[in-house]
Structure 1
Amino acid sequence: MSAEVASNEKIPFLQKIIYGLGALINNLLSAAIGGMVIVLNLGLGMNPALVGLVSALPRLTDAITDPLMGYISDHTKSKWGRRRPYIFCGAIAAGIIFALLWQLPEGKSEEYYFWFFLVGSFIFYLAYTMFATPWVALGYELTPDYHERTRLMATQNFMGQIAYLIAPWFLWFMQNDLLFEDMMAGAAWLAVIIGAFTICVGVLPAIFLKEPIKHVQAGPIPGEQFITPGVKGFLKGFATTVKFRPFLFLCAATFLVFNGFMMVASFQSYVIIYYIFDGDTSMGAEYAGWSGTLAAISTFCVIFIVTKFSTHFDKRKGFFFAIGISVVGYVLKWFCYTPDYPLLMLLPVPFIAFGLGGLFTLMGSMIADVCDMDELNTYERREGMFGSIYWWVVKLGMAAALAAGGFLLNATGFDVALGGAQSAETIYLMRIFDAFIPALCSAIAILMVYWYPITEQKAGEVRDALDARRLPVTTDSK
């Protein structure tokens, strides 16, 4: 049962909303870059395997850039704070570069488009990292309260789901003949709209949120510097983070749930178009849009349900509850995706929504608890490093999913030139992959969190130990 939150640890609702605007931008960019790449195949005829590679390769560099940005943010000292300058500049840079990325010249070769998009994506993800990594770290340190952290993450996840309410209609928008002469022209205009929105909204957390003032900590040797600056400090901090077992369990669970979902997020469109609607892209895009809209609406409800459940029964049990329901939803796809009753495809959607809805409501709160336990062991506050490595795992999951999705599509024997005349074996394999790969991944993720050791009682003990160890902040009364 949740306890009352101390007034000095409660985050005002408006500040939760403003922090949540960062999630809206984070998710919008992620959904856009993942959902719009289908244009490279359907609009330019690029091989699906190449589309998967051009989507996946830039994310692999995040293994270096994300932790580096986290380390830089943790060690920044400025009058604007450790996080806010990067959030502000990163939002502007990401918006501009994303808009430019989709201004693809006409009449070029497949190889040209591959390299153009690959190089542009590398640059875009650098700017994206500059924004996202400090924004994530800021959320971990806004409150020390066990349940208020969950409520903050629930609010930001709720705000972030607005992006997924919009994103399913991107394909419909880009291929709309009444608006654009071709799909690539639609993608170019959509990118400009998303880029401008990113700039205008992404800077708001940097402007209106205040970074908390940390207490000075008493180490085992008074006056010793525990956070080593420079390359040595970065490598030491990175190694300490990736060896911390509670954190690894959360990363593994996230990779499995998110990777399973994203693998079929791109794959699912092909199942809907070529199985349910026999190759009718227009009808498939419309129904995919309605499915995505229902998923987003369902996730809003899921966030509320999972937050209430976890604040009464603990975060781990909340995870088991949410992910278990999503497994049921994935399995239902096998029975509900049928050309005889197209509307039946909407039935699994609310069940599946418990997956990512529960995952990103709980994981941010749980990682904040991990940061406390790490501080107890290391005498360091490294929200930036933990957040960067965690979200790199999310991006790695997306990269692996996008790459695997392209190769799996080829493995089914899919040929875009055949339209609705795909072979029975191709359709069967597409359906198998779509329903059962994410179900299996989510089931394994439940086992990972079963081994995660930080319960509400344990988190309380860690916080009591930290409070006893921290030196009070002294102020000049004059």
Structure 2
Amino acid sequence: MSAETHFKTAAEDRISLRQKTAYAVGMLVNNLQAAALPAMVVILNLGLGMDPVLVGLLGAIPRIFDAVSDPMLGYISDNTRSRWGRRRPFIFTGALIAGLIFALMWQLPEGHSQPFYFWTFMVASILFFLAYTVYATPFVAFGYEMTPDYHERTRLHAFANTVGQLAWLGVPWFYAIMASSLFRDTVHGARVLAVWVGVIVAILGIVPAIFCREKQTVPPKAAEGLLENMAEFLKGIGTTFKCGPFVKLCGATFLVFNGFQLGMSFSLYVMIYYLFSGNDSQAGKLMGTFGSLTAIFTLCVIPLTGWIATRIGKRKTFLITISLSIVGYAIKWVGYNPDHPYWLLFSAPLVAFGTGALFTLMGSMISDVCDYDELQTHQRREGVFGAIYWWMVKVGMALAGLLTGVLLKVSGFDVALGAGQADKTLFLLRVFDVGIPILTSAIALGIIATYTITEGKAHEIRGELERRRGKVSEEKR
């Protein structure tokens, strides 16, 4: 069968608008939790005066706990039996706890030492990420199993990610909000803003748990006893890492997203100290404008990506969109011009193709991989696949958080110097900002060029699975 074969979505495989909307609200909350903490953590350095290496450790260590807990929660969710389903109880509980912890973790009292702030925030961050895992891992798995159709999966993730992108419209303005005249200082602004974010997470996060309905999927029988369950868990992790197409998706995401995250970690520093000579208010406005403009273009990129992918395939669409984002990063170098700081905005439309297309395609492609895996292993393991995928992302984010602090040191940045940063420091900050995502995205293109699950292949896999399931059902009669 040709890889170019195109199949029409059957009516029974369509997801209703109500279900898509409820899931999309959950995606908004998922993105808000992922984006809010990195957007606010700069306050620890610029507001409380913490050493950038300590801030880097705060960005890295809690995510390691988060990454370790993800596969465990995925395994637990896959094997949960309850009257409310495998995913919904975790989504409901995780949203409430994560919202509460996020609101409390920023209520840092004034006048304490760096070790006090470091260890207080460390413990709070670990607790927050554990709660976030309880929400996010079953939520992501939920999206993988809502439809068996190749194209409807893309439409679902395009719709959900479009709504989820609204979080990125507001998050770039967080620093400008915290530095505004509404508050005494940025630390006070962070305290109040955290409460707002926590309430939104708690209220909207329970929407998919209440309004989405799970398919009646019977999980595999869990092994009895702690040791048996641990053995099954570790065996499943090993099997997952042997799935070639999945490893390629993880590698590409690790490179594209975390390259973007690491590069953007330096953007505010470049704006404050290179473009505006230490004026954080003007830098905050440019950061907000750039971030919001990028988010607006991403809102356009996501449905466009979905539309293109249903016509030329997911792999080809990835190669096109990520290539466009590389051009956007290159334009940023020219846009960093102190005489014309708002030239930076010209890069936003193309930069938007990076993460905007990435998660729209990857969510759909991992759904296909779950079918591929079932064909090989005779198991449905959306929870584990989603957990391992985000485990890779979060390990990368931990590494990015750590490298941000290290590279700031390498650049010679010193917050005490204010606008008097050395020319070499300002040059290296721009190199890190622009060069890192270009390099990582280019490597990701090479990886996905070898990805082999096409529409035709996915259709063949689904047909074989349905024949197998039908045969099993008959044998049980």
Please indicate the TM-score interval, normalised by the length of the shorter structure: over 0.9
Partner residue, 1:87: 91
Which residue identity lines up with residue 27 of structure 1 in the other structure?
Answer: N
Q: Which deviations, in whole Å up to 9, do the C-alpha atoms of 1:204-250 show, x marking residues without a partner?
A: 0000000012389xxxxxxxx78646112111111111221111000
Instruction: Report matched runs for 1:46-445 at 5 Å.
Output: 46-176=50-180, 178-214=181-217, 228=223, 230-445=229-444
Contact 2:159–2:303 under 8 Å retained in 1: no
- Provide the C-alpha distance between the structure 1 equivalents of 2:419 and 2:110, rounded to a whole number of angstroms: 28
Partner residue, 2:453: 454
- Provide the C-alpha distance between the structure 1 equivalents of 2:80 and 2:412, rounded to a whole number of angstroms: 51
Which residue identity lines up with residue 353 of structure 1 in the other structure?
Answer: A
Q: Answer with 62-71 or 384-393: which moved more.
A: 62-71
Which residue identity lines up with residue 108 of structure 1 in the other structure?
Answer: H
Contact 2:74–2:138 under 8 Å retained in 1: yes
How big is the shift at 1:3?
Answer: 3.3
Partner residue, 1:43: 47
How big is the shift at 1:471?
Answer: 2.7
Question: Where do 5+ consecutive residues of structure 1 fail to align?
Answer: 217-224
For residue 4 of structure 1, give the secondary structure of its aligned residue in structure 2: coil
The alignment yields a C-alpha RMSD, in angstroms, of: 1.5
Q: Which deviations, in whole Å up to 9, do the C-alpha atoms of 1:145-176 show, x marking residues without a partner?
A: 00100010111111111110000111011111
Pair 1:401–1:287, CA change in 2 (3 A): same
- Provide the C-alpha distance between the structure 2 equivalents of 1:281 and 1:472, rounded to a whole number of angstroms: 66
Q: Which deviations, in whole Å up to 9, do the C-alpha atoms of 1:337-360 show, x marking residues without a partner?
A: 101111101001110110000100
- Provide the C-alpha distance between the structure 1 equivalents of 2:66 and 2:112, rounded to a whole number of angstroms: 29
How big is the shift at 1:62?
Answer: 2.6
Which residue identity lines up with residue 438 of structure 1 in the other structure?
Answer: P
Contact 1:35–1:266 under 8 Å retained in 2: no
Contact 1:215–1:470 under 8 Å retained in 2: no
- Provide the C-alpha distance between the structure 2 equivalents of 1:298 and 1:397, rounded to a whole number of angstroms: 25
Which residue identity lines up with residue 338 of structure 2 in the other structure?
Answer: P
Q: Which deviations, in whole Å up to 9, do the C-alpha atoms of 1:317-345 show, x marking residues without a partner?
A: 01001100000011111112101111101
For residue 58 of structure 1, give the secondary structure of its aligned residue in structure 2: helix
Which residue identity lines up with residue 22 of structure 2 in the other structure?
Answer: I
Contact 1:226–1:379 under 8 Å retained in 2: no
Contact 2:168–2:295 under 8 Å retained in 1: yes
How big is the shift at 1:2?
Answer: 4.9
For residue 45 of structure 1, give the secondary structure of its aligned residue in structure 2: coil
Which residue identity lines up with residue 257 of structure 1 in the other structure?
Answer: V
How big is the shift at 1:63?
Answer: 3.3
Contact 1:226–1:380 under 8 Å retained in 2: no
Contact 2:65–2:130 under 8 Å retained in 1: no
- Provide the C-alpha distance between the structure 2 equivalents of 1:2 and 1:49, rounded to a whole number of angstroms: 52
Q: Which deviations, in whole Å up to 9, do the C-alpha atoms of 1:55-91 show, x marking residues without a partner?
A: 1101112332100000000000001000000000000
- Provide the C-alpha distance between the structure 2 equivalents of 1:417 and 1:14, rounded to a whole number of angstroms: 53
- How many residues are treated as equivalent by the alignment? 466
- Provide the C-alpha distance between the structure 2 equivalents of 1:95 and 1:329, rounded to a whole number of angstroms: 35
How big is the shift at 1:411?
Answer: 0.8
Contact 2:78–2:384 under 8 Å retained in 1: yes
- Provide the C-alpha distance between the structure 1 equivalents of 2:231 and 2:317, rounded to a whole number of angstroms: 39
- Provide the C-alpha distance between the structure 2 equivalents of 1:232 and 1:317, rounded to a whole number of angstroms: 39
- Provide the C-alpha distance between the structure 1 equivalents of 2:243 and 2:182, rounded to a whole number of angstroms: 52
For residue 278 of structure 1, give the secondary structure of its aligned residue in structure 2: coil
Which residue identity lines up with residue 187 of structure 1 in the other structure?
Answer: A
Tell me whether 1:467 sits opposite 2:466 in the alignment.
yes
- From 9, 14, 21, the counterpart of 1:17: 21
Pair 1:279–1:61, CA change in 2 (3 A): same
Q: Which deviations, in whole Å up to 9, do the C-alpha atoms of 1:86-117 show, x marking residues without a partner?
A: 00000000000111110111111001100000
For residue 420 of structure 1, give the secondary structure of its aligned residue in structure 2: helix
- Provide the C-alpha distance between the structure 2 equivalents of 1:313 and 1:136, rounded to a whole number of angstroms: 25
Which residue identity lines up with residue 204 of structure 2 in the other structure?
Answer: V
- Provide the C-alpha distance between the structure 1 equivalents of 2:36 and 2:242, rounded to a whole number of angstroms: 33
- Provide the C-alpha distance between the structure 2 equivalents of 1:146 and 1:322, rounded to a whole number of angstroms: 20
- Provide the C-alpha distance between the structure 2 equivalents of 1:118 and 1:453, rounded to a whole number of angstroms: 42
For residue 470 of structure 2, give the secondary structure of its aligned residue in structure 1: coil
Contact 1:92–1:199 under 8 Å retained in 2: yes
Q: How does the TM-score come out when normalised to structure 2?
A: 0.95
For residue 470 of structure 1, give the secondary structure of its aligned residue in structure 2: helix
Q: Which deviations, in whole Å up to 9, do the C-alpha atoms of 1:347-385 show, x marking residues without a partner?
A: 011101100001000001000000000000000000000
- Provide the C-alpha distance between the structure 2 equivalents of 1:387 and 1:253, rounded to a whole number of angstroms: 15
